[in-house]
Amino acid sequence: MKKVSDFITRDLTSVTEDTPLKEVAEVLSLRGLAGIPVVNKENMVTGWISEKDLITSIFPEKVKIENPDVIGFMNLSQVVKKLTQVGHAMVKDYMSKTVYLVKEDAPASDVAELMLQKDLRRVPVVRDKRLVGVVDRASLSRILLEEGTFE
């Protein structure tokens, strides 16, 4: 049976709860990622922060980001003020504390099911609670399509 370790991308790119949002935005942008794990000082996963969390930190909660007229709700000085505040805010203020993890030695079907049920694109993989990589939909699909089955 295929395991999560067969599909893992062994990358530990992550941020901590005290990382400024400005730095998160830079990492996501430089790496072209939609979200990354949040870890503590021992590389244990404590949350997840995504580009969506960043966008919602900039714009008021009541404004839906899908609304193309979003800027119209705020005048320019309000936007600048908000951006300055957000730039200095920390990951812990905006991250999702509910994070779905999979163990490295878990069956691959577990992560596939989790991704489908929770509509997740990337899932952190852990060993002894420490981050060892991520599984993403693209690599999971690619390997499954190449091999045709979990078995």
From CA 78, how far away is CA 76, in angstroms rounded?
A: 5
23 part of the interface to another protein, by CB under 8 A: yes
- Binding another protein (rule: CB under 8 A), the pick from 25, 132, 134, 135 is 132
φ, ψ dihedrals at 140, nearest 5°: -65, -45
Phi and psi at residue 9, in whole multiples of 5°? -100, 115
Binder among 21, 36, 38, 39 for another protein (CB under 8 A): 39
- Tell me the closest approach of the beta carbon of residue 26 to another protein, in angstroms: 8
- Least distance in Å: CB of 72 to another protein? 32
How many residues contact another protein, by CB under 8 A? Answer: 19
> In angstroms, rounded to a whole number, what is the distance separating the alpha carbons of residues 53 and 60?
12
Please return the burial class of 4, using the count of CB atoms within 10 Å of its CB with bins 0-12, 13-18 and 19+: buried
Calculate the alpha carbon distances from 85 to 39, 41, 97, 138, 142 in Å.
Answer: 23, 25, 21, 35, 41
CB of 24 to another protein, least distance (A): 11
- Comparison of 74 and 90: residue with beta carbon closer to another protein: 90
Minimal distance, residue 84 CB to another protein, in Å = 18
Site residues for another protein per CB under 8 A: 9-13, 16, 23, 26-27, 30-32, 39, 41-43, 130, 132-133
